[in-house]
Structure 1
Amino acid sequence: MKPNLIYIVADDLGYADLGCYGGREAPFGAVSPHIDALAAGGLRLTEGYANSPVCSPTRFAMITMRYQYRLRGALEEPINSRSKGSTTLGLPPDTPTLPSLLREAGYHTALVGKWHLGYPPAFGPLRSGYDEFFGIMAGGVDYFTHCSGSGDHDLYLGEEPHREVGYLTDVLSARAVDHVKHRAERARDGQPFFLSLHYTAPHWPWETRDDAGIAPEVAANLFHLHGGNVDRYRRMIHHMDEGIGQLVQALRDERLLDDTLIVFTSDNGGERFSDNWPLVGGKMDLTEGGIRVPWVAHWPNGIAAGSHSDQHCMTMDWSATMLDLGGGQPHPDFPLDGVSLRGLLQRPADRFERPMYWRMKHRRQRAMRDGRWKYLQVDEHEYLFDIAADARERANLAGRDPRRLQAMREAWLAWDATMPPIPADATVSLGYSAKDMPQR
């Protein structure tokens, strides 16, 4: 019997924000008791990564199971309200995706939450494999007005604007719970479902459930640069955690929990108020704090409780795993870069190595992780770190091991040469120049 699949993605969550990753309790108590329970009842990975240190590129990799650099729309955060009407900045509908391939394998597919992969009419969730969509098209919206940075209302049911009163995290949680209840009978009768639940929490603006009064204040500037604090940020995580608890309870009530794989992660490292200990850096950077993220998997019929692993993985690997478990087949013209972790779920002590690569135009960054070693370049400066011994990336071993540095540099360049070149006009349209991009 194929499992139901639920992919829960937080937005800008730090590596150590959750209790199960060493996060401290807040004054109001445990920040993430329900996510912590999923980790205790399943698998927790300590060295898992996002495909990018920013959100939209990671989502391209997540849905295509391929390196995001293969698609023009996945250049660093080009998709915002100004790209409405663009026919290039988005996920092409003819690109095979995790939901489209699972649908071919008999799954019902739905996205609740954040899309951020281009705007209709050229792009959209319903054009890329989802049977149902409820959520936002933009990268971030006000939690109460549901308006984007341009001031446009940005909550949709399918491709139609939808008005609903409520704190966005709670609205998304309630919709996900309703979806599970609606699909439960069909799932028990043999049609599994794939649900993407993509929260905007704890992404700015820094608003909790109790902050409705500040909504007009942030409407003109969602970056909310003058607002927020650690306590408010942790409450945003807690609100999300409460919704996840409600979703798990709905699965339990519908007798679906044992047959459902729930995967929880973040789209990139934490931002302003996050806790990334012991890592350094955060969102926008290829240091560990920007790309290493929580990975929790829970599936009573497929994963032993209390499992943990230091297996290296990326976002696209977990998507490839879901495709594998769901019996979906990759399209022969779009071979996967993601590697299925199916074996790890039952044998968490088994692990394998394969190099992982990143590039980022911000400060001309590049990175590669291979085994315990990491190659990093920021601007003109190169670094070599033994991450197994130095997760904080403080001891640069480039001068002590120049041969390893050279070998990893050459490996990164060889990988980069397999990625499509960045279109010359894309650098102009996105507001930065070609010199800002990694050079081959």
Structure 2
Amino acid sequence: MSPSFSSHSKLSRRAFGGAVGAGAAAAAVGLPAGAAGAAEPHRSTYERPFSAVPHRRAKRPNILFILGDDLGWADLSSYGAPHIKTPHLDRLARQGVRFTDAYAGSATCSPTRFSLYTGRFPGRTKGGLAEPIADTSVGLDPTHPTLASLLRDAGYATALIGKWHCGYLPDYSPTRSGWDEFFGNFGGALEYYSKLGSDGKYDLYQGQAREGDAEYKDLRYYTRILTERADEYIQRDHGDRPWLLNLNFTTPHWPWIADGDEEESAEIVRRIKAGQRAALWHQDGGSVAKYTQMVQDLDRSIGEVLLALKRSGQERDTLVFFASDNGGERFSYNWPLSGNKASLQEGGIRVPTIVRWPARLDGGQVSHEPVFTPDWTATLLEIGGARPDPAYPLDGTSLAGYLLKGEALAERDLFWRVRGERALRRGEWKYYQGKDGVDQLVNLAQDQREQADRAPDEPRLLAELKAAWEKTNEQLLPYPAA
């Protein structure tokens, strides 16, 4: 263990201290007795260090897990965006915990979703090696336990609304991997009005989504449709069962089309039908202003969903989680981070992350602990009273003890791998190797922008972190030949 990691852990433990319960409070949600950053870049006046409130009781929560798509780390006003206004997500942060050093499980869409649904590194499974999935040959194996299947076995109702991107029909579907219900799209992107993918096929389904099921025809703006569906699910009578809703928006992923841009939509559709598969990528479109409009629409839509939750009377007992699936694209505001989506630099994997649970977490808190997607899988399984399958050990660490009892997180490494790049974070130190094959070492507490290579000054630490990365990498599947 490096000395700087140890001192950082002590600082974090002193600065945090929680959000909710110990002892009887933990027992009330079935938690066992035990359960692990850099300086904050943007501090709001309403925020205070993370701290624990003992003896607060609650039942197992509903779980509303919201993902934005390609949203950059600083694209919310609560994360420092000077030109984007996100009042609803800012309010969510005021009511819960905002994480400054939270990461996606990978740098692109489907590998991160694999890491969330399985709680494991994407490289544990064949489908997770696709960066991202673009054909029908691979997907999330229906026999692999998932967040949804394990929570369903523990008594939860489960639904996925929005983007799946973990495989295509007939072999892969959310309803084959633990979700009771699915309404959404299978591919990585779709045109917001026509629902056409880059292959020109219609991509909006509902129900069991088995091969031969009817497509669901609705040519309105996609974000509106998903918002309505989520509202309906939340306000439905679920009886005595808690529920898990994965709400996966495609906003603000390309194409750069906001609500009302029907002429731009029609032009992209024309190009798709003419066989221009790259038309959906919209490389000749978009702008900072258009991107801002899309992010603000996402915020407004999430505000509607949160209002539906409040009106349903379930707000207190619902854990709401919000994050992005990876770093932002070319119009994102990522300052001071370097890199974008697909890169293992900070801008490609660090994401905005907010957690609210009124029954158990005090609001207005900020956490600087380094955490990543597989941690949330482990956390939600523990809070939901579900047991992971020992045949498929999790790579994430449950944060339940940290969040609910103020326990310090144990020393651990955060690991990433994509084709041509590697990264590992331990405390404030990050080991990174880019496509040039050069090993670098940065201290993120001092240099979030990753510009000062400390490798020449810390050769032993560099060797230690590199060896740790390679040890984990040896456990993973190799990439298929390109």
Matched, 1:197 2:225: no
- 1:330 partner amino acid: P
Alpha-carbon deviation of 1:416?
0.8
* Counterpart for residue 436 of structure 1: none
Q: Which residue, out of 425, 429, 447, partners 1:373?
A: 429
Cα deviations by residue, 1:217-247 (Å, 9 ceiling, x for unpaired):
2232110001000111111111111111111
Secondary structure of the structure 2 residue equivalent to 1:258: coil
How many Å separate the matches in 2 of 1:152 and 1:41?
Answer: 41
Q: Give the equivalent residue in structure 2 for 1:130.
A: 179
Distance 1:257 1:302 in 2: 12
What is aligned with 1:385? 442
Matches within 5 A, 1:83-122: 83-84=135-136, 86=137, 89-122=138-171
CA deviations 1:245-302 (Å, max 9, x no partner) are: 1111111111100000000000000001001111111101110000111110011001
How many matched pairs?
410
Do structure 1's residue 319 and structure 2's residue 377 form an aligned pair?
yes
2:285 matched residue in structure 1 = 227
Is the aligned partner of 1:69 residue 2:126? no
Correspondence 1:329 to 2:378: no
Counterparts of 1:162 and 1:231, CA distance in 2? 32
Q: Give the Å deviation of 1:352.
A: 4.0
Identity level (%): 44
Normalised TM-score (structure 1): 0.91
Q: Which residue of 2 aligns with 1:301?
A: 359
What is the match of residue 437 of structure 1? none
Cα pair 1:309 1:349 within 8 Å, conserved: no
Cα displacement string for residues 132-173 of structure 1 (whole angstroms, at most 9, x for unaligned residues): 000000000000101100010000003131101210111101
- Alignment of 1:411 with 2:468, yes or no, is yes
CA deviation map 1:343-397 (0-9, x unaligned)? 2323568444310111111xx1111101111100112211110111111001001
- Cα drift, residue 404 of structure 1: 1.2
Q: 1:138-287, aligned counterparts within 5 Å?
A: 138-158=187-207, 159=209, 160=213, 161-182=215-236, 185-186=237-238, 189-219=239-269, 220=272, 221-287=279-345
Aligned partner letter, 2:389: H
Deviations 1:81-140 (A, max 9, x none): xx23x2xx1000000000000000000000000000001111110000000000000000
Is the partner of 2:369 in helix, strand or coil? coil
Number of the residue aligned with 1:45 = 99
Secondary structure, counterpart of 1:270 in structure 2? coil
Amino acid corresponding to residue 232 of structure 2 in structure 1: D
Which contiguous aligned blocks of 4+ residues in structure 1 show a shift greater than 2 angstroms? 343-353
Which AA in structure 2 matches 1:145?
S
**Any idea what SS the aligned residue of 1:172 has?**
helix
CA distance in 2, matches of 1:372, 1:173: 38
Moved more, 158-167 or 56-65: 158-167
Tell me the amino acid that sits aligned with residue 213 of structure 1: E
Q: Is the 8 A contact 2:375 2:396 kept in 1?
A: yes
Maintained 8 Å contact 1:63/1:97: yes
Equivalent runs, 1:12-31 vs 2, <5 Å: 12-26=70-84, 30=85
Counterparts of 2:386 and 2:408, CA distance in 1: 24
2:416–2:422: 8 Å Cα contact kept in structure 1? Answer: yes
Asked if 2 retains the 8 angstrom alpha-carbon contact of 1:312 and 1:353, the reply is no
| Contact 2:401/2:407 (<8 A) preserved | no
1:34 aligns to 2:88 (yes or no): yes
Give the alignment partner of residue 57 of structure 1, picking from 105, 111, 115.
Answer: 111
Separation of aligned partners in 1, 2:357 and 2:351:
20
> Distance in 2 between the 1:165 and 1:76 partners?
30
CA distance in 1, matches of 2:132, 2:407: 40
CA distance in 2, matches of 1:166, 1:154: 13
Q: How does 1:356-367 map to 2 (within 5 A)?
A: 356-361=414-419, 364-367=420-423
Contact 1:311–1:352 (8 Å) recurs in 2: no
Q: Which amino acid aligns with 2:235?
A: K
**After the TM superposition, which of the residue ranges 407-416 and 8-17 deviates more from structure 2?**
407-416
Q: Give deviations 1:281-328, integer Å, cap 9, x for gaps.
A: 110111000011111001100110111111111111112111111111
- TM-score normalized by structure 2? 0.83
- What's 1:438 paired with? none
User: Structure with the greater relative contact order (CA < 8 A, sep ≥ 6): 1 or 2?
Assistant: 2
What amino acid is aligned across from residue 90 of structure 2 in structure 1?
D
User: What whole-Å deviation, never above 9, does each CA across 1:395-427 have from its counterpart, x for those lacking one?
Assistant: 0011111111111111111111121333xxx32
Q: Give the secondary structure class of the aligned counterpart of 1:324.
A: helix
Shift of 1:77: 2.4
CA distance in 2, matches of 1:155, 1:261: 28
Residue 18 (structure 2) aligns with: none
Q: Say which SS state the counterpart of residue 316 (structure 2) adopts.
A: helix
Gaps of 5+ in 1: 433-440
Tell me, in whole angstroms, the C-alpha distance in 2 between the residues paired with 1:232 and 1:348. 41
Other structure's SS at 1:257 match: coil
Q: What secondary structure does 2:280 align onto? A: coil
